[in-house]
Structure formats: C-alpha cells, structure tokens
Structure 1
Amino acid sequence: MPANRHEPSRFRRCPRSSIVTSKCVPPPEVETGVVLLAAGQAKRFGGGKLTATFRRQPLWEWAAQTAENIDFSERLMVIGPNSPINSRPGWRLVKNPVAERGMGTSIAVGVRALTDCDRVVILLADMPLVSRTHLCRFLKARGVAFTRYPDGTAGCPAIFPRPVFPLLETLAGDRGARSLDLGDAELIEPSHEGELVDVDELCDLQRLRSAD
C-alpha cells in the first residue's frame, strides 16, 4: 500500500456529491490553506519525476494549477533541498532539508510553515488528474477528511483543521496523517477513480500519456 494511503479506523463515508458549480470558495469565516507536497526523491521513478513532461508541461504543474483555481488563503509548496522547482507566482516555496526521510517530514515542514490558516488541504504533486471538483468537496468538510480510494483506504488529498496541526508536525519518515489518532474522519469519494492516479514509476507516466 502506498505510503500516502492507510486503512481508516473510524470514518464517515460521504457519497459523491452533486455537481460543484464554478462558485467554489472556502467559507469566508474560515481561512483555508493548501500545502502541495513536491519534495519526494522519486527513487522508484529513477529521478526527475516531477519535472517529467505530461501534456506538454512538467508533471507537478497540473496539481498546482488545480489548486490555483480555488480561492485558498495561502498556497505553500514543499520542495526538496536540490529541487529544480524554484518559483511559481502565488506560491510560497519551503524547502524540506530532510526530504529523503519520507513524506511525513514534508507534511510536518509544510504545516509548520503555515502562517494564519484555520485548516489546510494536503495535495500531492505526483497526482496530475485530481480535479477541482474533488478539492471543492473538501471545503464542505466539518473536520478531518480524506479521499476514499477504490479499495476503501484513505489518502490524499485530505483536509485538516488547526487543532490537529500539532499532531501533523510530529510526523516523520513515511508515516502519513492516517497513522495519527485523529478521531472520526470523513471519507470523500472522487467523481471518478481515474483522477486518483499517482505517478510512482515511469510506467505509470507512460500509461497516462498513452491514455491521452
């Protein structure tokens, strides 16, 4: 099972919601930030995963563009110490000096760097097909919420309220947020399973290219 996915212990399953209109904004009384994790070592891919071309642009830009189509109060991207990603308008880049130790360290670094958010959406840069519609559903969550995968596991994208930030900041290694005792959590289903494809190996990217 990928490190970003875990068997849920206690959750409330949310069915696929109706169509989300173009008016997709966080509640005005709630400051919602987004942290895009782009610090992975891509060892299984052979290196250079996030800058590999997909649909004529770097792979990581797809997730970034999707997040830019939502009115987040803060956009933060966690990158590795030697990342070729050096800037993007509307984003604050934060380096994770120990990115090689696993995704948990990047979650901790990202959450710790947030300035004034009431909650945060965690998004992965190697998931280029996640839709704006799916992310918008998280804005309606009342607490912790994860994406429900076809096999019933929970993973990213996910949203967390400020009271659990201190727990997220303790993550290390490949431990994801589901390894923590976060109490009840919602599971939000995507509109279709295809948008949950994550690129771990070169063959994953090749399949995406072939499907276009």
Structure 2
Amino acid sequence: MTGEPTPAGGRHTEGGHETATAPSPGTAPPRVAGLLLAAGGGRRLGGRPKALLPYRGRPLVEHAADMLREGGCDPVYVVLGAARERVRETARPAGCVLVDNPDWERGMGTSLRTGLAALPRDGADAALVSLVDQPGIGAQVVARVRAAYRSPATLAAAAYEGRRGHPVLLGAAHWEGAARSARQDAGARAYLRAHHRALTLVECADLADPSDIDTPGDLHRLR
C-alpha cells in the first residue's frame, strides 16, 4: 500500500480534495474503524521495530494510534509483529485493540489480512488503514479521508500532489477482496489498482508530509 502515481481513471474532486457532505437528518454517522499496521521489524533500520521508535518522548505506535482516534476512527485496531511482547510492555496505545500477526516477517500483506480479519463485521462500516512509520500524517489527514465515506462500497485514499498514499479507506464491501489480494509488502496495492475506477483520491498535500521511516537516513523525521 505504498504511494504511487495516480492510475488513469482515479477520481479527483473539485479543489483537489474530498469535502464531506452533511448527513441526512436521522442518518447515523458512519462507523469507521482505524487499522494501524505496526508490525514491521525495521530490517533496514538495523532491526529496530518501527512501533518502538521514539517520537516526541514516546513510542511511535502511541502517536500513530492517537492520530487515528483524534481523526474520528473508533474502534482502533493495532496490528503488532516484531518484538510484539516488548511493544505490549512498553507502549500504551490508549483505547486500542492489539492484534498479533505471527506471520509479520512475510510482509505487510499479512498484517493487512490479519487486521481486516479481526475487525468486527457488525461494528464498522469501513476501515481506515494507516502505517506506523509515517509520523508526518496527523489527525487532520485522517479526518479528511474519513469524510470521503459514502457507503460500504466506498474506496478512497489520501493523495499527495496526485500520488496515492496513506491512509486508505476501505468500505466493508472491499475487506474480503483486499485481504485476498494482499501479498508480501504490497498490502492492498494490487486491489486498488484493479479497482481504480471506484477509487476516490483525497488530496492532502496541504496537511501532511507522507514520508516514511525506512532507513537510518530517515530518522531525522522523528526529531
């Protein structure tokens, strides 16, 4: 689910980003669950689990989970993998459901499948999928992408100057297909490509820096 150029046919809205429409009177607000993928072992960081990287005086996973909650996601599920016992002992992502992915070493696709399988089928209309290693993405981005929800068939993603990125909003109708297509480190990339005509891109370059933390040269983004 890494960012990539916008495929032909991806839908943009006037002004470069989605804007929410007011719900009809008597309509219940959508239930959008947050799904934070935080299982990475930081192989290119010398084996430092990304969830435990220090950010503003606390583990990065706490910050990332808080951004989902502050952006309107409820409940929030956090998928753990590398050093998951240490993450459980050290980090305190408040009000979150922690899910273990024993196959995390096989790639992010396994974390996406694990997380989607854990979500309550009768307790959420959509899942907003975010990555733990993008500290520049905050609650405003989460809220803007969440506002793109229209129905369980909604498929949306943040875009940064036209490049698709995270977070990604998967209406419940897409969970099974996205999980089935998830492979290695590609996450839902293949699924989003195959369904690009249904995909709404939500421009967020005015709100965030989507750069991730992959190598020692990226650690400056945590300061």
Q: Which residue of 2 aligns with 1:178?
A: 189
Q: 1:30 aligns to what?
A: 30
Deviation per residue, 1:99-145 (Å, 9 max, x gap): 11111111111011101211010011111121211111112213211
Report how many residues are paired.
Answer: 200
Equivalent in the alignment of 2:23: none
Greater helix content? 2
1:169 aligns with 2:155: no
Inter-CA distance 144–67: structure 2 relative to 1 (3 Å threshold) = same
Letter paired with 1:148: A
Matching of residues 49-198 of structure 1 within 5 Å: 49-80=50-81, 82-83=83-84, 84-86=86-88, 88-115=93-120, 116-141=123-148, 142=150, 143-150=154-161, 152-170=162-180, 171-180=182-191, 181-182=194-195, 183-192=197-206, 194-198=208-212
Instruction: Check whether the contact 1:32–1:117 (CA below 8 A) recurs between aligned residues.
Output: yes
Q: Percent identical across equivalent pairs?
A: 29
Contact persistence 1:147–1:156 (CA under 8 A): yes
> Which TM-score applies when normalising by structure 1?
0.84
Letter in 1 for 2:218: D
Correspondence 1:39 to 2:39: yes
CA RMSD of aligned residues (A): 2.4
In 2, distance between residues paired with 1:160 and 1:19? 17
| Distance of 2:19 and 2:205 partners within structure 1 | 9
Query: Any conservation in 1 of the 2:130–2:166 contact (CA below 8 Å)?
Result: yes
Normalised by the length of structure 2, the TM-score is: 0.80
Q: Which runs of 5+ in 1 are unaligned?
A: 21-26
Unaligned ranges ≥5, structure 2: 21-26
Amino acid paired to 1:168? A
- Per-residue CA deviation, residues 34-71 of structure 1 (Å, 9 max, x unaligned), is 10000012111112233122222222222112112133
Are the counterparts in 2 of residues 6 and 178 from structure 1 also a CA contact under 8 Å? no
Does the C-alpha gap of structure 1 residues 189 and 144 become closer, same or farther in structure 2, counting only changes over 3 Å?
same
- Counterpart CA distance in 2 for 1:148 and 1:169 is 22
Q: Specify the alignment match of 1:11 in structure 2.
A: 10
Contact 1:108 1:172 in 2 (8 A): no
Q: State the SS of the aligned residue for 2:158.
A: strand
Runs of 4+ with >6 A deviation: none
Letter of the aligned partner of 1:132 in structure 2?
A
